[in-house]
Structure 1
Amino acid sequence: MSEAILVLEDGRTFHGEAFGAIGETFGEAVFTTAMTGYQETLTDPSYHRQVVVQTAPHIGNTGVNEDDDESDRIWVSGYVVRDPARMASNWRATDSLELRLKREGIVGIAGVDTRALTRHLRERGAMRVGVSSVDSDPFALLARVREQPEMVGADLSAEVTTPQPYVVQAQGEHRLTVAALDLGIKRNVPRRLAKRGITTHVMPAHSTMDDLLAVKPDAVFFSPGPGDPATADHPMHLAQEVMRRRIPLFGICFGSQILGRALGFGTYKLGYGHRGINQPVMDQITRKVEVTSHNHGFAVDAPATSEGEFGRVEVSHVCLNDNVVEGLRCLDVPAFTVQYHPEAAAGPHDADYLFDRFTELIERA
């Protein structure tokens, strides 16, 4: 196998072997603590321009298949694993992970001490990184890493959104219609809505209020997505217009941050973010603790309760690891958000009830 190197922007260097395509790639180094669902991670548009480090040591043992993608391509900029599976063993597998990475031109590195790399990122924070299997000079690669743009200030939703609207029909009897603004939507969102009799019109990120109203929605959904929410002014103004019209609104992850901005709150970058499928969150309404799936490097800076243009707002969910705001609920307009992923595939599904909460909000409105 070809040798490969990984160089962080502070100069820390790791050596390993090429995994996936041969070449060179750059992005923001982040780690995910998920022990399963690597295919969903790779195809999640929220990971656009990020080099993902898997903390689970053994990756690829179930291969890849045609059904578990969350979008139509792999979005990660690069992939870092310790011990890739030598063969795929699963009745659903249609290919190996490495062949899929090669086919889509995703540069990766294996044989890395991912525990040491993760500890470094936890202590120093997420940072720019380069992975190369064509240049073994760490100093030359470091120079190129430091030329790359940072994630702060990155406006990326236009790079991952659908170019044209499309429709995901309700399963069984049609009950409601939702207009979903695609800021980096995952396929499992309209699937979860479809199971509840909801037809979803997925709309490009640049859609206007008139575009949304043209599908006669009973509610609007703002999707997850990549980048710095402070740059997303168009969706923020669109969220304000939706609330002024008192159309029910639900936002997830990036969509939650957009709604937070629309309500007058600021956003900030977390040190190393929340990424994985084992994050504990408390629902402040029910006081129940959920094990949840996360993928966010930014968060909303909101007080426990507040009041502004759209009336009273309260923090509805908090992360029990660090007290980061994980959800907002408006008390005077029909809108709420969560920062994590109730649509999580391959799980966990503790938060799936939030789609029922959304359906109930629409029906009350």
Structure 2
Amino acid sequence: MKFKFNCKIVFSDGEKFFGESLCYKTNIFSEIVFNTSNLGYEEIITDPSYSNQSLVLTTPHVGNTGINFYDSESSRIWLSCLITRNIFKSISNNFRFVKNIFSFLKKNKIILLNGFDTRSITKKITRGYNYACILHNKNYNVNKKIFIFSNILEKIPYVKYSSTKISYLFCNFSSNFYQKKNFLFLRKVIVLDFGLKISILRNLVKKNIFPFIINYKFLSNINLNNFDGIVLSNGPGNPKIYKKIIKKIKKIKKPILAICFGHQIYSLSKNFDIEKLIFGHHGSNHPVSFKKKCFISSQNHNYFCKRKTKIFSLLDNTNQGFYNKKVISFQGHPEASPGTNDFLFLFRKFFKILR
């Protein structure tokens, strides 16, 4: 397959990768990560946890099932750039097809890089090269001093932009729910939105948990006595810069369900150390040891809690969560999307501790 080599990715050591640029063309400097999922690209690119990141998809062919919008995890694409080996530009014959991924990215003005050696780029990232310049001018030379700004990127409060601006109720119950008069079994929770995936809300509702979603800054305005528990959602960026919300979480005595970024916020509220991983965990095939059993989880995070625990990653032994009578805190994504259903039981367990 022929590609027009009109774009390059430049890393801090000067190594360059060439390919073609499609859709929106502009020069950027950003954090670069990779995702090992073979499927679920619609869920991945609409996940707010990827805010302002350049994302490499390791699967060699992307886009053959198109976009259907029901699988989208939010109302927009959050990443800055999508990097693929080969992207499908034609109309898909998938029965759920609404729009092809190429048109979807183009409409949202997202940089799409195609024809790149994604295997080599992935290996580069695993060696600790987490930042790169994406340039659309072959003759443009990169000053290595620009990589000094990588420290600044880690201090940007991305959650400020990914969190909801208004408070709202998520009421997606089926008609059978109302007919059965299950309101006595309904549990009300506050969901702190750091960059929420809609699949989390859908799974809460399936377990008769009624979520009220608020901006993470509004917690002090809420009377928690009116609710049975609190959910700390996933989100983008460095959790250590949100010191005010960490102090507020320390005072909460209600049952807590913490997911991904929320797990890191909860860990900090317990004075546990948080550090950045060399290249992060991003994919739907990460094995986790939970109660001496192996589960496959969906992961999307660059930071981890240093506290040792019995719930840990079987890839690098990093902390994957805490589990007790009042708290379910998980570093991965129990809702998956994309991924397996191995950890869906955590929503059922959360309902039980709310009772």
Is TM (by shorter chain) over 0.5? yes
What is the aligned counterpart of 2:231 among 214, 221, 225? 221
Q: Quick check: 2:5–2:18 contact (8 Å CA) kept in 1?
A: no
**What secondary structure, in the 3-state scheme, does the structure 1 residue paired with 2:333 have?**
coil
Q: Whose strand fraction is larger, Structure 1's or Structure 2's? A: 1
Q: TM-score, normalised by structure 2?
A: 0.91
Question: In structure 1, what is the Cα distance between the partners aligned to 2:231 and 2:204?
Answer: 11
C-alpha deviation, 1:234, in angstroms: 2.1
CA 1:24/1:141 → structure 2, altered by over 3 Å: closer, same or farther? farther
Quote how far apart the aligned CAs of 1:140 are: 3.5
- Tell me the amino acid that sits aligned with residue 103 of structure 2: L
Distance in 1 (CA, whole Å) between partners of 2:129 and 2:152 is 10
Say whether 1:254 aligns with 2:261: yes
State how far apart, in whole Å, the 2-side matches of 1:209 and 1:359 are.
24
Query: 2:129 & 2:297 partners in 1: Cα distance?
Result: 21
Q: 1: distance between equivalents of 2:64 and 2:151?
A: 34
Letter in 1 for 2:139: D
Contact 2:328–2:346 (Cα < 8 Å) also in 1: no
Q: Secondary structure at the match of 1:230?
A: helix
1:105 lines up with 2:109 in the alignment: yes
Residue 338 of structure 1 corresponds to which residue in structure 2?
330
Report matched runs for 1:1-365 at 5 Å.
3-89=6-92, 90-123=94-127, 125-133=128-136, 135-140=137-142, 147=149, 150-169=152-171, 171=173, 172=177, 173-174=182-183, 175-211=186-222, 213=224, 216-242=226-252, 246-284=253-291, 287-303=292-308, 315-330=309-324, 334-363=326-355
What amino acid sits opposite 1:294 in the alignment? Q
Q: What letter is aligned with 1:62?
A: T
SS in 1 for 2:203: helix
The offset of 1:254, in angstroms, is 0.5
164-173 or 71-80: bigger deviation: 164-173
Kindly report the root-mean-square deviation, in angstroms, between the aligned alpha carbons of the 2 structures.
Answer: 1.8
In structure 2, do the counterparts of structure 1 residues 316 and 163 end up closer, same or farther at CA, with 3 Å as the change threshold?
farther
In the TM superposition, what whole-angstrom CA distance separates every residue of 1:6-26 from its partner, at most 9, and x where no partner exists? 112332211101133222333
Following TM superposition, by how much is the alpha carbon of 1:83 offset from its aligned partner in structure 2, in angstroms? 0.8
Decide whether the 8 Å contact of 1:65 with 1:93 is kept in 2.
Answer: yes
- What's the CA shift for 1:316? 4.4
CA contact (8 A) 2:89 2:101 kept: no
Change (3 A) 1:138 1:114: farther
* Contact 2:311/2:319 (8 A) holds in 1: yes
Q: Is the 8 A contact 1:236 1:262 kept in 2?
A: yes
Q: Secondary structure at the match of 1:36?
A: coil
- Once the two structures are TM-superposed, the CA of residue 121 in structure 1 deviates from its matched residue by 0.9
Q: What is the deviation of 1:158? A: 1.1
Given that residues 88 and 102 in structure 2 are in contact (C-alpha distance below 8 angstroms), is that contact kept between their aligned partners in structure 1? no
Retained in 2: the 8 A contact 1:107–1:131? no
| Contact map agreement 2:307 2:319 (CA 8 A) in 1 | yes
Shift of 1:157: 1.1
Distance across 2 between alignment mates of 1:20 and 1:281? 38
CA contact (8 A) 1:30 1:126 kept: no
Classify 1:337/1:129 alpha carbon distance in 2 versus 1 (closer, same or farther; 3 Å): same
**Cα distance in 2 between the residues matched to 1:4 and 1:142:** 18
The TM-score with structure 1 as length reference comes to: 0.89
Report deviation, 1:280. 0.2
- Do the aligned residues in 1 keep the contact of 2:52 with 2:80 (CA within 8 Å)? yes
Tell me the number of residue pairs that the alignment of Structure 1 and Structure 2 aligns: 342
Q: How far apart in 1 are the matches of 2:332 and 2:324?
A: 18
Task: Give the percent of matched residue pairs that are identical in Structure 1 and Structure 2.
Answer: 30
CA distance in 2, matches of 1:355, 1:105: 36
Residue 308 (structure 1) aligns with: none
Contact 2:280–2:302 (Cα < 8 Å) also in 1: yes
**CA distance change for structure 1 residues 138 and 144 in 2, over 3 Å: closer, same or farther?**
farther
Distance 1:138 1:117 in 2: 20
| Structure 2 unaligned regions, length at least 5 | none
The answer to whether the 8 A contact 1:169-1:198 is kept is no
* Offset of residue 2 of structure 1: 7.0
Larger CA deviation: 321-330 vs 291-300: 321-330
Aligned residue identity for 1:327: G
Q: Deviations over 1:62-94 (max 9, x none)?
A: 111221110111001111000111424211111
* Runs of 4 or more consecutive aligned structure 1 residues displaced over 4 Å after TM superposition: 141-151
In structure 1, runs of 5+ residues without a counterpart are 304-314
- The alpha-carbon deviation at position 328 of structure 1 amounts to 1.3
Offset of residue 117 of structure 1: 0.6
Q: Is the 8 A contact 1:170 1:198 kept in 2?
A: no
Amino acid at match of 2:271: G
